[in-house]
Every structure is written in C-alpha cells, then in structure tokens.
Structure 1
Amino acid sequence: MEIAGYLAAVFIGVSLGLIGAGGSILTVPVFVYLLHVHPVLATTYSLFVVGSCSLIGSVRAYAKKLIDFHVVLSFGLPSLLSVFLVRHFLLPAIPDHLFSIGELNIDKAVFLMLLFALLMLAAAISMIRSAVKPPVSPGRKERTGWLLVQGLFVGAITGLLGAGGGFLIIPALVLISRLPMKIAVGSSLTIMAISSFFGFFSTLPHYTIHWMQLLVFTGIAIAGIFAGSALSEKIPGQHLKKGFGWFVLAIGLFILVHELFFP
C-alpha cells in the first residue's frame, strides 16, 4: 500500500502538470487510505504538498509575468486570516466524537473525510462542466469586496481540509476580476502557495511530522509536475481535465460510501 501511495504521488504531480489544477485534491485521500495517516494529520501533510507544488507553479508563472499581485493581496490576505482561525481554533474545537446514527459513529476523522468527499464532488463537477464566459465586470471596489469574501471562504476550506481550493479560486478570478485564464491560474497558484505554507508552518508545533515520508512524497509529486508539463504540450488539456473530473467524482463517491457504510 505504501508503494501505491508513492505511485499516486506521481499521478498527482502529472495531473497538476497536465491540467494546472485539481491534482492536489487527491492528496488527503492518498495519505489516509494508502499511507494510513490519520485524517487530521493528513490535512496538515496536504498543506505542505499543495504549498510546495503551488510554489513551483507560481515561480514559473512569475517568470512569464502571469501573476496579478493586486488580486493576490486582495484574495490572499483574508485567506491567511481564515486559515489561521480555522487551524488554531475551529479544528481543535471539533470534538473527537460528534454524534451517532444507529450503529454509525461520526467522529472527527469521519466528519473530515465526509466533508472532503463533498469537496471532491464539487471539484469534480467544476472540472467536468464546460467553461462559463464571465459576465459583465463589476466595479473595482465591488471586485475587491467579492475577492475578500472569496478569500475568507477558500482559506477556511484550506485550513480545515488541507486542499488548496484552486478549483474555486480560478473561477472566482475569471468571473469576478475577469482575469485571462493564464493569469488567473498563475495568481491562484501564488495564493495557494502562500496560504498552504502559512497553514502548515503556523500549526507545525502541534503535530509530529514524519518528515522522510512527507518530503519523499512531495519530491515525487514535484517531479510529476515537470513530467506532466512536458506531456501537456502533446495532449489537449481540456479533454484531460474532464476525464480527471470524472475520476475525482468516483473517488469522492468511494469516500462517502466507505466512511458511511464500511468505517
């Protein structure tokens, strides 16, 4: 199972390199089901993996001048605030046992995995759907206000579940700020790198990290990004994105069934 987990790291990296987003949504399930990491710790590991992979992508985007730093600040600062609040106050406040339904006990670990499954379903639908053209652009003040709200929301997801939220950030930047897709992706990667690393290092003293496992997994995923980027020049990304969306949908449904009926 451990070998399968590291092979999955290759797949995560390749998918990120091929379609630019979405692959990191698989990080928590891989850590939980293949590498047998506790779900709460898996969200912490995921923050490091997502932050590292996003950093690689953001450096490449910066070199190509594909980052809007006004958007990064407007979206990123409230995101950092909500990441901090969730990791330091909300996550520790969730009790180990929440409630029972018949013989089904919903504890903290199951609750997080169920939330993550719902997040995966939302991500899958976002990847499967055809791109929507942005509406008429609001004014600058309205755009900034919406970015602040979106930043708080996505930061909460990042802090709670360890997912970067690129599938939420990119549509927000395209629809609200009307950024070209490539600049939206570059800005999204920068936001994810900052918020994920902040979430990881700000709560690092609270967890015991198996650094060898985490660094090997991250290194393999980063190598996969470069392999995926090379393949992306030969394979149409849009078809891959929809196919990957169906795969994420299947994994999300598997998690729901597994946690509810085969805990």
Structure 2
Amino acid sequence: MSFEAVMPIDQAIVAPLLGAAVGLVLALTGAGGGIIAVPLLVFGLALPMQQAGPIGLLAVGLAAGLGALLGLRSGILRYRAAGLIGLCGILAAPVGVWLAHRIPNLPLTLAFALLLAWTGGRRLWRRRSLPRDAAAVVDRPCRLNPAVGRFDWNLRCARVLGATGVLSGLLSGLLGVGGGFVIIPALGRYSDLPPASVIATSLGVMTLVALGGVGAAALAGGIVWQLALPFAAGAMAGLLLGRLLAARLAGERLQQGFAVLCLVVAGLLLGRVVAAVI
C-alpha cells in the first residue's frame, strides 16, 4: 500500500512514538533532533531518504518552534542572536543543497558519519568540568549584560554568530540536518549563556532554518502528510515531556548523553557505508 493511500495502523502507532523520541532529544540537548529524525524514519518506517528528510525537518521545526516559544516566554531565548544565526543559515542552506547535488551519496554519508563521530568523541572525552576563570569569560566575544540580561553586541560577536549560522546552514543543506550540533557547541564556547538559554536559542535558530526547507518541500509535494502529521505531533509531545525531565537532570549528563547519541548514529551510518562498499 502506498503512503498516499490510507496509512496502515502499525505506522499510525509507530510514527508518533518515533516522533516523541525526536522531541525528547531536542528538549534535553537543544540539538540532535535532525540527526536522529531521518535515521528513525529510514530504519523504523522503511522510508526512502526523499520522504524521510522533509518529514524529519517538519517535525524538528514544529517541536523546536514550540520549545522556542516556551523559552521566549521564560525570557531565556536570545532572540536577536537566534535571528542573526538563523538568517545566515537560511542564506547559506541553498549553497549546501547545490553542493549535495554534485557530490555522490556515499561520500556525503561518510562525511556525515565522521563529523558526528568527531563531535561525539570530543564531547564525551573532554574534561568533565572546565573551570571558567575570569579571563576566559571576559575573552568570550558574546557576553551577557547582567543589568539587562542581554548580549552586549559588538562586531566580534556578530561575526562569530554569523559564521555559526553559515556553517549550520551549509551542513543543513548538504547533509539534511538542523545544525543544532553546530550551534550548541558554538554558543557554549563563544558566549557566557547558561545551558538552558543555549538550548532555547538553538531551538529558535532551528525553527527559522526549518521554515524554508519545509516550505520548499511542501510546494514541491515532497511531504507525506499521513506520516508527517502524527510524527510531528509525537515530536511536540516528546519535547514537552523532555522539558520536565531536563529540570531533573544535570547539564553535563545531558551533554554526555548527546555525545553518545552522536557516536551511535555515526556507527549506524558507517555500517551503511561499509555495507554499500561490500
């Protein structure tokens, strides 16, 4: 039975459950939703990449948008920073798409797997606690003004955030991911935002970047709505549940969990590359 017909009952049950896993990861880490969404759809529902990509992007965009709104209401989302990163990402994404159409699928998959392995390994084996001495904090280009709770904007900060947006947009277009695994480390390294604010700001960026991709896919008729809607609904429910769990878990533990997730997904992708070569 085609996906354009009535969706089988098992898929109607599995789709929101898989979506909930995506939302849970988004809430706990602010990243990784796009990384696991497509593999879940490919391995869990046996979808081709052409259908899995737009569905995953829709779910990530809606769940991230919900999380961003909650963060904005709580006053922890730095919306100006998110807007700058998101705008640069939207402008850079078409370049990544252009490159993706000119690079064979196998090298792209290998590059994605190696990037994930590097990201996860670097986070997992770094020192558990790096002291934030005064000199290190002062040297960060994006610093909060405690009097107003906002960034003291300067050219160096704008450059760092803009470059982060360009890189995340390129990877989004090239590899079909939301770019959160780029945004989270960048905000953690170049700003003094607390972890909750880093996650909320990352969700805001991912919402903006997803808007363009989902719109283009919808206009081209590339979204299977019978699967996309329950998958997205599950992602939003998972995000709400994840917010409750995040308040009870340590930030360092969450980041270690995200690192393990990156390594697991990298291993799955490398296995697919090896199987294709053999």
In the superposition, the TM-score normalised over structure 2's length comes to 0.77
Query: Which segments of structure 1 move beyond 6 Å, counting only runs of 4 or more?
Result: none
Query: Residue in 2 aligned with 1:250?
Result: 264
Q: Are the structure 2 counterparts of residues 14 and 78 from structure 1 closer, same or farther at C-alpha, using a change threshold of 3 Å? A: closer
Equivalent residue runs for 1:114-153 within 5 Å: 114-125=110-121, 127-128=123-124, 129=126, 130=128, 133=132, 136-138=139-141, 140-153=154-167
Query: Residue in 2 aligned with 1:33?
Result: 43
CA distance in 2, matches of 1:162, 1:189: 16
Look up the SS of the partner of 1:209 in the other structure.
coil
CA distance in 2, matches of 1:60, 1:7: 22
Give the counterpart letter for 1:250 in structure 2: V
The answer to which of 247-256 and 150-159 deviates more is 247-256
8 A Cα contact 2:33 2:178, kept in partner? no
Query: Residue in 2 aligned with 1:234?
Result: 248
1:41-79 residue CA offsets vs partner (Å, 9 max, x unmatched)? 322222212111110110011001112233123222111
8 A Cα contact 1:39 1:113, kept in partner? no
8 A Cα contact 1:67 1:187, kept in partner? yes
8 A Cα contact 2:25 2:33, kept in partner? yes
Equivalent residue runs for 1:106-117 within 5 Å: 108=105, 110-117=106-113
Q: Are the structure 2 counterparts of residues 5 and 131 from structure 1 closer, same or farther at C-alpha, using a change threshold of 3 Å? A: farther
Query: Residue in 1 aligned with 2:99?
Result: 90
Figure out how many residues of one structure are paired with residues of the other and give that number: 249
8 A Cα contact 1:84 1:202, kept in partner? no
- Per-residue deviation at 1:112? 4.1
CA distance in 2, matches of 1:230, 1:67: 18
CA distance in 1, matches of 2:21, 2:88: 31
- Per-residue deviation at 1:244? 4.3
The answer to which of 46-55 and 130-139 deviates more is 130-139
In the superposition, the TM-score normalised over structure 1's length comes to 0.81
8 A Cα contact 2:23 2:242, kept in partner? yes
Identity of aligned residues (%): 28
The answer to which of 70-79 and 237-246 deviates more is 237-246
CA RMSD in angstroms, aligned pairs only: 2.7
1:165-209 residue CA offsets vs partner (Å, 9 max, x unmatched)? 222112212322433333222221111100112122134333432
CA distance in 2, matches of 1:248, 1:184: 19
CA distance in 1, matches of 2:83, 2:89: 9
8 A Cα contact 1:137 1:176, kept in partner? yes
CA distance in 2, matches of 1:237, 1:181: 7
8 A Cα contact 2:19 2:59, kept in partner? no
8 A Cα contact 1:10 1:224, kept in partner? yes
- Per-residue deviation at 1:38? 2.0
Unaligned runs of 5+ in 2: 1-9, 143-153
Look up the SS of the partner of 2:177 in the other structure.
coil
